[in-house]
């Protein structure tokens, strides 16, 4: 059975004694006073012995925080949890509690004052209740790490919602992301990663409070940064790796996201060119576009490179041709460069070599910690700075290129051998 509730500030027994704003206990004024005793399962019992669901007796509840039951031998559905209801001042559910079953519609329909519902890391399953809107006062909905499935009901999201955080990650949701999420004007964080969602990402340009968007590891399709206005200008992080997104990257879309610090589109099907605007962005720190179908890299044409905040650029595993972009050597804070497994030709720019060999800031530019150039068609001689490098500094790789004078005595030439001369184009360093 269940453990007997402790009579302390954290248990359900203390909740029964906690005064509400009107001084008559936690229950709403519309609910009658229910004298009686506590049953073995922590559920209120009337004098006639009838048991009452604790949630349904507390319509003014503002937070659900089940006490962890990890040491119990059995898993219990939510509606039978012995200590489901904490004191009203409690706002979060911190750890896996071992609950299972489906999410009752009554949890949403009968708790109009609920502010936080967090069921992270349990064993709930089935579809979310359809035809029921989230309580207008709900600010945090966290259902991550369960086994929920089916489509995300569009009825949950209305313009009246005050939802600030939505986390449905690590479940088995299918279908499209309902366009009604765009009506959540107060939402700052949306996490839908690690599901089975399909279709195009809905237009979110009017969600002017959203700062974090993570839809990675789904099956989403269509373009994302092909035009300005698809995403709100307030975004700080856009994470959509491991999907099936396609289409080009437009400079105007980067200009329309002036606050963006992280862009991760790794392992999609994005095509076209990497716009030079990405290297001159005023806030972007991490640009991750590896494992796509990109074909070229535009050089930055403006004067924004000197003020770029980029720390990491990953363009590995694409089909990029042409020479290595020289503008990367001029980005002052850049530390990690991944251009491997492409079709770059020509020589290694001297500025790359200088920064890879440096051990401290030189001329206002930080040393490279990682320079990955293997698996291209680079040719010509090795810059002097590289030849003088010792193992133990920056991580550098020039393996599997067309560098005929790149012997294995140099640590950065170790690994797969250089390509056969017949496979290499005419060298124009």
pLDDT at 429: 78
pLDDT at 180: 97
Pick out the chain residues at pLDDT < 70. 1-97
Instruction: Report helix, strand or coil for 396.
Output: strand
204 shares a domain with 278:
yes
CATH number at residue 248: 3.80.10.10
pLDDT at 55: 46
pLDDT at 19: 41
The two structure tokens encoding residue 310: 């980029």
pLDDT at 110: 84
Cα(78)–Cα(342) distance, rounded to whole angstroms?
Answer: 52
Q: Which domain range does residue 33 map to?
A: 1-97
274 shares a domain with 151:
yes
How many domains does the chain divide into?
A: 2
298 shares a domain with 225:
yes
Is residue 43 assigned to a domain? yes
Provide the b/e sequence for 397-409 (b: ≥16 CB within 10 Å): bbbbbbbeebeee
- Max intra-chain CA distance, the chain: 94
Q: Is the pTM above the cut of 0.85? A: no
Among 64, 97, 130, where does a domain finish?
97
Provide the CB-side half-sphere exposure for 189 (13 A, CA).
11
pLDDT at 342: 99
Contact 122, 99 (CB under 8 A): yes
Among 80, 97, 114, where does a domain finish?
97
Sorted by sequence, the CB contacts under 8 Å of residue 35 that are 6+ apart come out as 46, 47
**pLDDT single digits (tens) 205-222:** 999 999 999 999 999 999
pLDDT at 13: 38
157 shares a domain with 74:
no
Cα(301)–Cα(244) distance, rounded to whole angstroms?
Answer: 30
Provide the b/e sequence for 245-271 (b: ≥16 CB within 10 Å): bbbbbbbebbebbeebbbbbbbbbebb
Cα(322)–Cα(377) distance, rounded to whole angstroms?
Answer: 10
- Of 366, 409, 372, 418, the C-alpha closest to 389 is 409
109 shares a domain with 93:
no
119 shares a domain with 73:
no
Is residue 429 assigned to a domain? no
pLDDT at 404: 87
């Amino acid at each position: 059975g269940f453990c007997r509730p402790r009579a302390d500030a954290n248990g359900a027994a203390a909740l029964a004694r906690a005064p509400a704003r009107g001084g008559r206990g936690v229950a709403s004024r519309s609910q009658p006073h229910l004298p009686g005793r506590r049953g073995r399962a922590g559920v209120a019992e009337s004098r006639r012995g009838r048991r009452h669901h604790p949630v349904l007796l507390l319509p003014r509840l503002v937070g659900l925080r089940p006490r962890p039951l990890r040491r119990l031998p059995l898993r219990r559905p939510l509606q039978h949890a012995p200590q489901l209801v904490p004191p009203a001042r409690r706002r979060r559910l911190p750890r896996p509690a071992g609950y299972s079953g489906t999410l009752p519609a009554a949890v949403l329909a009968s708790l109009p004052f609920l502010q936080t519902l967090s069921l992270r890391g349990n064993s709930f399953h089935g579809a979310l209740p359809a035809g029921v809107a989230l309580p207008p006062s709900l600010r945090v909905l966290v259902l991550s790490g369960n086994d929920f499935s089916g489509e995300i009901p569009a009825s949950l999201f209305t313009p009246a919602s005050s939802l600030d955080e939505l986390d449905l990650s690590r479940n088995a949701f299918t279908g499209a992301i309902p366009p009604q999420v765009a009506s959540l004007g107060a939402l700052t964080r949306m996490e839908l990663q690690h599901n089975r969602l399909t279709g195009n990402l809905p237009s979110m340009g009017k969600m002017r409070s959203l700062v974090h968007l993570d839809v990675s590891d789904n099956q989403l399709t269509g373009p994302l940064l092909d035009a300005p206005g698809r995403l709100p200008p307030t975004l700080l992080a856009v994470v959509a790796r491991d999907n099936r997104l396609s289409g080009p990257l437009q400079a105007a879309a980067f200009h329309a996201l002036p606050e963006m610090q992280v862009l991760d589109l790794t392992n999609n099907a994005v095509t076209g060119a990497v716009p030079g605007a990405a290297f001159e962005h005023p806030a972007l720190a991490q640009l991750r576009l590896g494992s796509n179908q990109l074909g070229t890299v535009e050089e930055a044409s403006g004067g924004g490179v000197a003020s770029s905040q980029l720390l990491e650029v990953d363009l590995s595993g694409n089909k990029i041709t042409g020479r290595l972009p020289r503008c990367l050597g001029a980005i002052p804070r850049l530390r990690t460069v991944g251009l491997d497994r492409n079709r770059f030709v020509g020589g290694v720019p001297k500025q790359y070599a200088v920064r890879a060999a440096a051990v401290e800031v030189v001329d206002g530019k930080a040393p490279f910690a990682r320079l990955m150039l293997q698996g291209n068609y680079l040719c010509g001689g090795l810059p002097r700075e590289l030849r003088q490098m010792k193992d133990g500094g920056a991580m550098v790789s020039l393996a599997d290129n067309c560098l005929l004078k790149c012997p294995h005595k140099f640590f950065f030439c170790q690994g797969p051998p250089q390509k056969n001369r017949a496979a290499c184009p005419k060298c124009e360093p």
